[in-house]
């Protein structure tokens, strides 16, 4: 592919400088699979050039994941090795930051029993909760970037042969992440400023509720008390900006868990734990999912909602305009990291404490008191598209059209 080597290097640089914003004497953990090694090595090189104290590569392999699911005894999905939690926590405490290279197979677990996948998911989330706090509260900087796997590329471009599909997906990833632009780092500065502009507008207005209208969607969403709109780069406790998802196009906040009413129809499929859910939607009453449907993956969706009580309530509302580098690629990535950033979306499950004023210092009870949802899961699904309108209401009844035909109208 033309310019591939150069783009890969620019991608590595973007991940380390904008994603993690690695500083001298900091450590870096890179999590990836064997395909990610060439990219991981470039990232490692950039990290050491910037003064990293140590770079640790953590292998995650799809085949090994499958071996565990297929051959492990059932009890292993009910407990998680404590040393693994302890090791990660020790690294986070020791100023290591975490870069994930995602290279997913959207249907990896399609032949594995849903019950088992759900049980494993629950066990891992429960075990990881104390460590996740380091990332949620800004102690640990983290970023997720993605690269093609063959199954992923084939799921996006089923008509191409493997090599061509991978090449094409790389091209789309470089476009969606602005890596194909002359100076991606500069492009991200401009983009970040733009997201901050919308974020600041929404935070000044402190809207009371949003109304979403589109095909199959007519939903009233009150926002949590003291909700905070977030978007673009975050700031770590040490005062360094970092970008947790590359790409990111969203500004998002916390809905009131008990004040969501109406119907909501997803506009894109959702790939969850290696399974696809498609043609689905929900009815909400007083915040709770009281009815749902799915043309594909009904059982997977049902299991998701049964994870815990909070899984039936919303924890995030995110605004993304339809005209963005991601949706302009014109493809469905079959990967939430990209598809959620192509589209207005909601999440079922846990709200982000940092999407609440002073939220990182509040207890779970205090957060829930203000309307922020709690759950062990957080799963995004897409509702945006060219036919979505969003009206925002201020407390005094003033209304402002935020989105018209899928794009920002302010
Ligand atoms: Zn989001
Ligand atoms: Zn989310």
> CATH no. for residue 37?
3.40.1830.10
The environment of the single-atom ion ligand 1, i.e. residues with CB closer than 5 A, is: 250, 252, 318
Residues 151 and 261 occupy one common structural domain: no
Could you tell me the distance, in angstroms and rounded to a whole number, from the CA of residue 195 to the centre of ligand 2?
16
Ligand nearest to the CA of 341: 1
Could you tell me the distance, in angstroms and rounded to a whole number, from the CA of residue 49 to the centre of ligand 2?
33
**Confidence class for position 260, pLDDT limits 50, 70, 90:** very high
Q: What is the mean pLDDT of the chain?
A: 94
Residues 141 and 251 occupy one common structural domain: no
Residue 252 vs residues 12, 248, 275: alpha-carbon distances, Å: 27, 11, 26
| Res 392 pLDDT > 90 | yes
Could you tell me the distance, in angstroms and rounded to a whole number, from the CA of residue 272 to the centre of ligand 2?
13
Which of 141, 176, 211 is the C-terminal boundary of a domain?
176
**Cis before residue 247, ω within 30 degrees of 0?**
yes
Could you tell me the distance, in angstroms and rounded to a whole number, from the CA of residue 404 to the centre of ligand 2?
23
Residues 246 and 353 occupy one common structural domain: yes
Residues 171 and 191 occupy one common structural domain: no
Q: Considering only the C-alpha atoms of the chain, give the largest distance between any 2 of them, rounded to a whole number of Å.
A: 60
Q: What angle do CA 273, 278, 281 make, to 5 degrees?
A: 105
Could you tell me the distance, in angstroms and rounded to a whole number, from the CA of residue 349 to the centre of ligand 2?
9
In a domain, 402, yes or no: yes
Ligand nearest to the CA of 380: 2
Average pLDDT over residues 348-356: 93
Q: pLDDT tens for residues 11-67? A: 999 999 999 999 999 999 999 999 999 999 999 999 999 999 999 999 999 999 999
Provide, rounded to the nearest whole percent, the portion of the chain with pLDDT above 90.
85
Q: What is the pLDDT of residue 272?
A: 82
Q: DSSP assignment of 98-158, as one string?
A: EEEEE---TTTTTTS-HHHHHHHHHHHHHHHHHHHHHHHTTSS-EEEEE---HHHHHHH-T
Provide, rounded to the nearest whole percent, the portion of the chain with pLDDT above 70.
100
Could you tell me the distance, in angstroms and rounded to a whole number, from the CA of residue 347 to the centre of ligand 2?
5
Average pLDDT over residues 315-343: 90
Which of 146, 176, 206 is the C-terminal boundary of a domain?
176
In a domain, 181, yes or no: no
Q: What is the pLDDT of residue 330?
A: 86
**Confidence class for position 324, pLDDT limits 50, 70, 90:** confident
Unique residue bearing structure tokens 């969706």 = 301
| Res 297 pLDDT > 70 | yes
Ligand nearest to the CA of 345: 1
| Res 357 pLDDT > 90 | yes
Average pLDDT over residues 360-384: 93
Could you tell me the distance, in angstroms and rounded to a whole number, from the CA of residue 317 to the centre of ligand 2?
8
In a domain, 300, yes or no: yes
Helix or strand run (H / E) with residue 4: helix 4-14
Could you tell me the distance, in angstroms and rounded to a whole number, from the CA of residue 43 to the centre of ligand 1?
25
Average pLDDT over residues 309-337: 92
Could you tell me the distance, in angstroms and rounded to a whole number, from the CA of residue 379 to the centre of ligand 1?
9
Residues 294 and 245 occupy one common structural domain: yes
d(CA 292, CA 305): 10
Domains held by the chain: number: 2
| Res 403 pLDDT > 80 | yes
Q: DSSP assignment of 65-110, as one string?
A: HHHHHHHS-GGGGT---HHHHHHHHHHHHTTEEEEEEE---TTTTT
Residues 65 and 11 occupy one common structural domain: yes
Could you tell me the distance, in angstroms and rounded to a whole number, from the CA of residue 163 to the centre of ligand 2?
32
| Res 239 pLDDT > 90 | yes
Burial of 358 (0-12, 13-18, 19+ CB in 10 A): exposed
Residues 6+ apart with CB under 8 A from 66: 108, 109, 112
d(CA 170, CA 160): 14
Could you tell me the distance, in angstroms and rounded to a whole number, from the CA of residue 146 to the centre of ligand 1?
16
Which of 176, 211, 241 is the C-terminal boundary of a domain?
176
Residues 130 and 262 occupy one common structural domain: no
**Residue 73's domain spans which residues?**
4-176
d(CA 26, CA 164): 38
Ligand nearest to the CA of 378: 2
CB atoms within 10 A of CB 182: 8
| Res 2 pLDDT > 70 | no
Could you tell me the distance, in angstroms and rounded to a whole number, from the CA of residue 318 to the centre of ligand 1?
5
- Per the CB < 8 A criterion, the answer to whether 43 and 17 are in contact is no
Q: What is the pLDDT of residue 241?
A: 96
Residues 241 and 384 occupy one common structural domain: yes
Q: pLDDT tens for residues 89-140? A: 999 999 999 999 999 887 888 899 988 998 998 899 899 989 998 998 889 9
Q: Which residue(s) pair with 214 in the sheet?
A: 217
In a domain, 140, yes or no: yes
Residue 194, both tokens: 């733009």
Question: Length of the chain, please?
Answer: 410
In a domain, 251, yes or no: yes
Kindly list the strands in the beta sheet with 96-102, ordered across the sheet, starting from the edge strand earlier in the chain: 54-59, 27-32, 96-102, 142-146
Ligand nearest to the CA of 315: 2
Ligand nearest to the CA of 342: 1
- Per the CB < 8 A criterion, the answer to whether 58 and 92 are in contact is no
- Per the CB < 8 A criterion, the answer to whether 196 and 371 are in contact is no
Residues 199 and 281 occupy one common structural domain: yes
**Confidence class for position 1, pLDDT limits 50, 70, 90:** low
- Per the CB < 8 A criterion, the answer to whether 174 and 46 are in contact is no
CA proximity to 42, closest of 11, 20, 17: 11
| Res 265 pLDDT > 80 | yes
Average pLDDT over residues 275-281: 93
Could you tell me the distance, in angstroms and rounded to a whole number, from the CA of residue 336 to the centre of ligand 1?
9
Residues 278 and 377 occupy one common structural domain: yes
Residues 204 and 96 occupy one common structural domain: no
Q: pLDDT tens for residues 175-218? A: 999 999 999 999 999 999 999 999 999 999 999 999 999 999 99
Unique residue bearing structure tokens 């140590």 = 54
Could you tell me the distance, in angstroms and rounded to a whole number, from the CA of residue 252 to the centre of ligand 1?
6
Could you tell me the distance, in angstroms and rounded to a whole number, from the CA of residue 112 to the centre of ligand 1?
28
Buried-state track 400-409, b at ≥16 Cβ within 10 A, e below 16: eebbeebebe
Q: What is the pLDDT of residue 181?
A: 94
d(CA 54, CA 75): 35
The whole-angstrom distance between residue 289's C-alpha and the CA centroid of its chain comes to: 21
Could you tell me the distance, in angstroms and rounded to a whole number, from the CA of residue 276 to the centre of ligand 2?
17
Residues 375 and 241 occupy one common structural domain: yes
CB atoms within 10 A of CB 134: 21
Ligand nearest to the CA of 343: 1
């Amino acid at each position: 592919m033309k310019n591939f080597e150069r783009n890969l290097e620019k991608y590595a640089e973007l991940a380390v400088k904008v994603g993690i914003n690695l500083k001298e004497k900091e450590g870096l953990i890179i999590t990836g699979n064997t395909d990610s090694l060439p990219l991981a090595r470039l990232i490692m090189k950039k990290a050491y050039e910037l003064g990293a104290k140590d770079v640790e590569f953590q292998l995650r392999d799809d085949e090994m994941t499958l071996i565990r699911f297929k051959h492990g005894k059932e009890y292993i999905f009910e407990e998680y090795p404590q040393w693994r939690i302890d090791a990660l926590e020790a690294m986070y405490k020791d100023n290591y930051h975490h870069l994930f290279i995602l290279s997913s197979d959207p249907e990896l677990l399609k032949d594995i029993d849903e019950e088992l996948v759900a049980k494993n998911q629950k066990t891992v989330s429960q075990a990881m909760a104390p460590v996740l706090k380091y990332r949620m509260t800004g102690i640990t900087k983290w970023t997720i970037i993605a690269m093609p796997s063959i199954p992923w590329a084939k799921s996006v471009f089923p008509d191409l042969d493997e090599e061509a599909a991978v090449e094409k997906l790389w091209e789309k990833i470089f476009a969606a992440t602005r890596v194909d632009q002359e100076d991606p780092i500069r492009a991200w500065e401009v983009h970040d400023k733009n997201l901050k502009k919308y974020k600041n507008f929404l935070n000044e207005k402190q809207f009371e509720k949003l109304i979403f209208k589109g095909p199959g969607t007519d939903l009233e969403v009150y926002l949590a008390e003291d909700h905070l709109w977030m978007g673009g780069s975050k700031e770590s406790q040490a005062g360094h900006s970092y970008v947790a998802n590359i790409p990111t196009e969203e500004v998002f906040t916390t809905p009131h868990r008990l004040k969501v009413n109406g119907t909501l129809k997803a506009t894109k499929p959702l790939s969850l734990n290696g399974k696809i859910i498609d043609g689905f939607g929900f009815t909400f009453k007083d915040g709770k999912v009281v009815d749902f449907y799915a043309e594909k993956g009904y059982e997977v969706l049902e299991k998701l909602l049964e994870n815990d009580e909070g899984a039936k309530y919303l924890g995030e509302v995110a605004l993304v305009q339809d005209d963005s580098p991601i949706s302009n690629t014109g493809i469905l990535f079959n990967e939430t990291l990209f598809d959620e950033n192509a589209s207005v979306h909601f999440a079922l499950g846990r709200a982000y404490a940092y999407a609440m004023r002073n939220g990182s210092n509040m207890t779970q009870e205090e957060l829930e008191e203000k309307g922020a949802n709690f759950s062990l899961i957080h799963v995004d699904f897409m509702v945006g598209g060219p036919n979505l309108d969003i009206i925002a209401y201020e407390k005094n009844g003033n209304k402002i059209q935020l989105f018209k035909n899928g794009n920002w109208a302010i």
